[in-house]
Chains A and B, each alone.
Chain A
Amino acid sequence: MITRRNLLGTAGTGAVLAFAGLRFPEFAQAQGAAAGLTAGVPEGVGSYATMATLPGKKPLILLSDRPPNYESPLEYFRTPITPNDQFFVRYHLADIPEIDPKTYKIKVGGDAAATPVEISLDDLKALPAVEVVAVNQCSGNRRGLSKPHVAGVEWGYGAMGCAKWKGAKLKDVLAKAGIKKEAIEVSFNGADGPVVDKTPDFIKSIPAWKALEDTTIVAYEMNGQPLPHLNGAPARIIVPGWTGTYWMKHVTEINALSKPQGGFWMAAAYRIPLGKFPIRDRFVSQETAVNTPITEIVVNSLITSHRDGAKVKTGKLTVSGMAWDGGYGIRAVEVSTDGGNSWTNAKLGEDLGPFAFRPWSFDFSAKKGKNAVMVNATNKLGQSQTSELIFNPAGYHNNVMQNISLMAG
């Protein structure tokens, strides 16, 4: 009898996988999955990763199934809104309960809250609703491209997505609990938890000033639909501009704190070296002499019309993609087809707000043979992408300009 283990074990090496389609027609899609990976991620990813279909999702690149970490392939980023069924999935801990929205409650309290309360989904929906289009990008997006290698989930380009989020302002939720002036941070816990009791639960905090911004919300809708289960149903925190680590899924606890949250996921994880990145937003209560929590997304762009090495026709060619940043908005996207000697502005597309993907496109004449295409986005602060990786131990904030080759025949 064929076991899945044996069946897939056959495709256990990259070399075998490359020929698997010839021997097992059913592996054709697995081959596609290998092609679906971002060039440059560790070889080992290609030895097992497949396109996998979670309930309610289109195929995503399966990096790990427990906890579930599924990446969107490049082709899903051709529209400024990423559909819910194409949106990436990222978890730290493998115990993920289904939650009945009818009995779902969020405890809102903390030592800097005067009147702790429990609110239901209906209570949340009764508050004034706001909508914000925002990119949710994993801090470790593109970690797999880090040189030298850093350990972790080896994401390519696709640990991100942009959606229209609808919910209540976090500040309105905090007002229900009587947040006090002493509050310096607001922490979040979600319903997902560890398998082993000793594993630190995933608890995150943000500075009070960020929690009280009008665009920081407790969302119950994503692109006009209830949140998909694996994107945080019934409600999750949305921190536009900041990386996904703070966007707590299945949020069950919100606490106003007069002291820094001291758990593993704040004190030890998700930190960047001080002074290496052009970051504006500070998280002063969590800073140490050497590092600080990651905050806003660095300006970045992605060519989504073509993959590196794609075959194209000689002559008129349009390349296009997305650009985004930490909420200042994209001022310009420039493209170079001569190895970075000269740069020309791309045409910017629809503006869905400062936290959203900004589409761009660029027309040029492809010459026969290899065409190098580089892209660099600049935000409204004047910050641009980097040409050399700014190495850091966790592989965060990779905004190295892409330099792809298109082969014209």
Chain B
Amino acid sequence: MRILSIAVAAAFAVTASVACADDKPIQLKKAPGVEKVEANCQACHSLSYIPMNSPFPNAALWDAEVTKMINAFGAPIDAADAKDIKAYLTKNYGS
């Protein structure tokens, strides 16, 4: 877990803006499968894509998204993890 430096904390208190663009904190819902989402998805993109697209996607849409990440974008996610990720997203960020 990254620790806020004092300088960054001070800047944050004044402006409430995030100057370091690589450290956006997104806390996903704690539920079964979250560790697989964190381990696989944020290698390529920030986790904000998940809440950003919620709560609308149903199981089929989240399934299509994860499948696209694997087949179209080459994400190295094994089948067991993909299944758990889809279930987590549908349950926690789906409709």
List of B residues within 8 angstroms of A196 by Cβ: 43-44, 73-76
Q: How large is the interface on B (under 10, 10 to 19, 20 to 34, 35 or more residues)?
A: 35 or more
List of B residues within 8 angstroms of A52 by Cβ: 17-19, 21, 24
Chain A minimum-CB-distance residue to B9: A2
List of A residues within 8 angstroms of B25 by Cβ: 4-5, 7-9
Q: A64-B49, A199-B74 are in contact. Are A94 and B44 (CB under 8 A)?
A: yes
Chain B minimum-CB-distance residue to A41: B52
CB of B17 within 8 A of CB of A1, answer: no
A68 is an interface residue with CB less than 8 A from chain B: yes
CB distance from B25 to the nearest CB of A (A): 4
A242 is an interface residue with CB less than 8 A from chain B: no
Which of B21, B44, B54, B56 gathers the greatest number of chain A CB atoms within 10 Å? Answer: B21
CB of B15 within 8 A of CB of A53, answer: yes
List of A residues within 8 angstroms of B52 by Cβ: 42, 44-45, 48-49, 63-64, 153-154
B22 is an interface residue with CB less than 8 A from chain A: yes
The A-contacting residues of B in range 1-48, CB under 8 angstroms, are 1-4, 8-9, 12-19, 21-27, 42-46, 48
The B-contacting residues of A in range 27-64, CB under 8 angstroms, are 27-30, 33, 42-45, 47-55, 59, 62-64
List of A residues within 8 angstroms of B1 by Cβ: 3, 5
CB distance from A263 to the nearest CB of B (A): 11
Chain A minimum-CB-distance residue to B10: A26
List of B residues within 8 angstroms of A3 by Cβ: 1-4
List of A residues within 8 angstroms of B27 by Cβ: 5, 8-9, 12
CB distance from B11 to the nearest CB of A (A): 9
Residue among B3, B4, B16, B73 making CB contact with A26, cutoff 8 Å: B16
CB of B4 within 8 A of CB of A30, answer: no
A42, B54: Cα distance in complex, Å? 6
CB of B74 within 8 A of CB of A198, answer: yes
CB distance from B34 to the nearest CB of A (A): 13
List of B residues within 8 angstroms of A152 by Cβ: 53
List of B residues within 8 angstroms of A284 by Cβ: none
List of B residues within 8 angstroms of A409 by Cβ: none
Chain B minimum-CB-distance residue to A197: B74
CB of A44 within 8 A of CB of B55, answer: yes
A194, B74: Cα distance in complex, Å? 10
A351 is an interface residue with CB less than 8 A from chain B: no
CB of B75 within 8 A of CB of A67, answer: no
List of A residues within 8 angstroms of B3 by Cβ: 1, 3-4
Which residues of B pack against A, CB within 8 Å? 1-4, 8-9, 12-19, 21-27, 42-46, 48-57, 61, 64-65, 72-76, 93
Which residues of A pack against B, CB within 8 Å? 1-5, 7-9, 12, 26-30, 33, 42-45, 47-55, 59, 62-68, 94, 148-149, 151-154, 194-200, 264, 268
- A5-B25, A64-B52, A197-B74 are known contacts; what are 13 more A-B pairs with Cβ within 8 Å? A3-B2, A9-B25, A42-B54, A43-B54, A48-B48, A52-B18, A52-B19, A52-B24, A59-B17, A65-B18, A65-B22, A66-B46, A153-B52
